[in-house]
Amino acid sequence: MATQKATSPVKASTQSFIEIEDIRDDIVLMKDYSAVVVIEVGAVNFWLLSQEEQNSMIYAYAGLLNSLSFPTQILILSKKMDISSYLDYLELKIAKQKQDLIRERLTSYREFIKNIVKKNTVLEKRFFFTVPFSPLEMGVSGVSAKGLNKEYVISRAKTSLYPKRDHLIRLLSKIGLRATVLQKQELTELFYNLYAPTSTGRRIAPVDSYTDVVLTGG
């Protein structure tokens, strides 16, 4: 009597449990047909500002948040920086440098960077504002996502989110913060690295160049 080999259980792929249904232009559509637009905000070295400038920025930022008439979420991503490629770059410069004084300065600088990394955790931080869209904004038809047309939902999401997005960008620019709306390529890379993290992060080829699906709702 032949014995049947035990088989391991089928493991679900990442696509089976993530909430993203589709990414269209700058709109992230979820499986429940809610949607979101993501705005990345540049950082400011707050501690290099004078006390007066710091207070002014705090009050301006508080005024921005208090003036919003729609919900938003602030997201901060922190990741330990991998500076090995930068150290390799310095090594190459040192090897090619013919002047002794400059070579000594570069060597000293390289050791300085190494010591900083050994004693402190160097983090890369990214800051985001996200503005959500709920299918309930479509009225009774949005109560149940089943049966809704995806193209229609994306169109309604754009109509709702774009004025809010532009308003938020204007408010951020008034307080000296640079805001960038993430498009399909940047959004895909962002979520790809969140679900498949690496020490340095990965860049992917242009999404539209893929002949197979990168992300599907199943």
Residues lower than pLDDT 50 in the chain: 1, 5-11, 216-218
Q: What is the pTM of this model?
A: 0.71
> What's the pLDDT tens digit per position in 70-111?
999 999 888 777 777 788 888 888 888 888 888 899 889 888
At residue 192, the pLDDT reads 82
Round to whole Å and give the CA distance between 162 and 173: 17
- What's the first-to-final CA gap in the chain, in angstroms? 40
Calpha distance 164→93 (Å, rounded): 48
Q: Which pLDDT value is given to residue 213? A: 52
Exposed e or buried b for every residue in 24-41, given b needs 16+ CB within 10 A? bebbbbbeebbbbbbbbb
Question: What is the percent of the chain with per-residue pLDDT over 70, rounded to a whole number?
Answer: 77
Which residues are CB-contacts of 115 (< 8 A; sequence separation ≥ 6)?
A: none
List the domain boundaries for the chain: 19-81+124-209
What is the rounded CA–CA span in Å between residue 113 and residue 105?
12
The DSSP-derived string for the chain is -PPPPP-PPPPPPGGGT--EEEEETTEEEETTS-EEEEEEE----GGGS-HHHHHHHHHHHHHHHHH--S--EEEEEEEE---HHHHHHHHHHHHH---HHHHHHHHHHHHHHHHHHHHS--EEEEEEEEEEE-GGGGGGGGS--TT--HHHHHHHHHHHHHHHHHHHHHHHHHTT--EEE--HHHHHHHHHHHHS--SS------GGG-SS-SS---
